[in-house]
Each structure stands twice: as C-alpha cells, then as structure tokens.
Amino acid sequence: MSPSPAFEAGQTAVPPNIPASSPTAAPSPEPAPKEATAILSEKGNATGGERQTGPGGTIQPVVSSVEIDQGSGKRREVALTFDAGASAAPAPKILSALKKHKVQATMFLTGQWAEANPELVKQLVAQGFELANHSYSHAEFTKLATVQMREELARTEAIVQRLTGQSTKPFFRPPFGDRDARVRDAVAKEGYFTVYWTLDSADWRPEATAAGVRDRVLRLASPGSIIVFHLGSEATAQAIEQVVVGLQENDLSLVKLSRLLAER
C-alpha cells in the first residue's frame, strides 16, 4: 500500500529509522537537504557496477544496498512517486490530472492492489509511468524472514509482468518505510534498490486536506526531491493538479525516478 506514509486502509506512518511497531507513530520532520550522488549512470550506479541485461533484454543497473532518498539536485527536477496498496477510487482523477499536464511519475504497486485493479495497472503503462515494487501484501519487512521478503517481491513482480510485460525492477519502497540493513541487503540481492523519499506529502493522514497537501509540497519541494503520494488518497486527488502546476511554476521539472537519478 504505502511507504512510511501509509494512508490506505487506516494505516499510519513510520518515520525514518523507527521500527514499525507502533500503529500511531508520527512522521519525523523532513530531513535537511544533503549532498547526493547520481545512482544511475551509463556505467551503472553509484557503486561503479556495470549495467546488466534484465527481462526482455532491457538494461538494468547493478543493484547495491545503498538507500535512495533523493537525487543530486544538479538539475531542477523532482520525482513524483505514488504508492498503491488499498483504495483505487481516487486513482482515476489523479491519473487524469497527470495526463492532462503530460506528467511522468513512478508508481509503487503492491501485488494485491495490482491483482484487484488490473485495468488501472494497464492504464499506468499506457500513460508511460514507471512501475516499481511495493511488496505483495504491504507487510512490515523488518519483521519478515529473508525468504518471505523474496516471496513478497517475486509475487508482485510476477503479477505485474503478467499484466503488463514490464518489470518492477530496480526500485522497491518498503511498506511503512520499514527497513534496516538486513532488508536493504535482502532486496538488493533480488535486484532492487531500497527507495525512501525526501518529502512526504502527508496525504495519508486522516486529517489530510487538499490544501494541506498542496501547501506542504509546494513549500518543501526542491531540486532532487523524491516526493511520495498515494493513489488511494482523496486529498491528493483533489490537490494534484494544483501541485503539478505550482511545481512547474517554481521552475521544477516533474520526472520519473529513474530520470531523477540518472547522471547526465
């Protein structure tokens, strides 16, 4: 369903480095901007690994357990990312606004959501969005055995491949933002970078409003930001067009995660 900001199904967020044990844990303040390096390049990733051939002959970066939470900020770009895991009702309005403004984004899907909404998954591909993995059942990964993590990732990958012919690699966002070194190592071995975020839109909060989501994102977004929203958030459905226009008016280009992280 969602990352740390787990809007859907009444779930709550878990701030960075805090175990997802408390259902009422509040998100921590946004981290201060930090120097970041490009993860993806023509030579591979930040670890210097060469690229490898993925499904269908596509070129994939060699994955490491480095955590991604922002781009370098060298270009005036931000990545809009959306987690999908429970309600699909607000999604058509969100997708319509993104299509209207020709915005590209990265969609983190749970396998359960993809199974329940196959036509929406196909629409995501038709609009050119990048698909990524958000687990199958939205489990807390730090509480899973390594074999269970592998199963969660593989099951979602198989579902998305069957529906679209596309892979969810190389990006994975842990449900609730719940991750540690063991999780990062395990998912890297399955071909995924662990993706966090720079800016939480807070659209998952029960009291979230369109104005609140809009104002928060426009106030805090900066070059290199990875911004997280939810396809199940009605607040985002109402705010997303104003968010897109506002970011563009602030001279920020809205790109896929892979583009934000690519070195040029």
75 found inside a domain: yes
Q: How confident is the model at residue 37 (pLDDT cuts 50, 70, 90)?
A: very low
23 found inside a domain: no
What mean pLDDT comes out for the span 18-35?
Answer: 32
Record the pTM.
Answer: 0.81
Q: Which domain holds residue 143?
A: 49-261
Contact 205, 198 (CB under 8 A): no
Predicted local distance difference test score (pLDDT) of residue 41: 45
* Least confident among 19-33, 176-190, 234-248: 19-33
Q: How confident is the model at residue 252 (pLDDT cuts 50, 70, 90)?
A: very high
Q: How many domains does the chain have?
A: 1
What residues are paired with 68 via a beta bridge?
A: 195
CA distance 131 to 159: 12
Contact 260, 38 (CB under 8 A): no
Predicted local distance difference test score (pLDDT) of residue 58: 46
233 found inside a domain: yes
CA distance 134 to 123: 18
CA-CA distances (angstroms) from residue 250 to 97, 98, 185? 18, 17, 37
pLDDT at 25 over 50: no
192 found inside a domain: yes
Q: How confident is the model at residue 143 (pLDDT cuts 50, 70, 90)?
A: very high
CA distance 174 to 205: 18
pLDDT at 44 over 90: no
* Percent of the chain predicted with pLDDT > 90: 75
Quick: pLDDT tens for 62-83: 799 999 999 999 999 999 999 9
22 found inside a domain: no
Nearest to 171 by CA among 149, 139, 198, 193: 193
185 found inside a domain: yes
119 found inside a domain: yes
217 found inside a domain: yes
- Nearest 5°: phi and psi at 142? -70, -15
Q: How confident is the model at residue 18 (pLDDT cuts 50, 70, 90)?
A: very low
- What CATH number does residue 188 fall under? 3.20.20.370
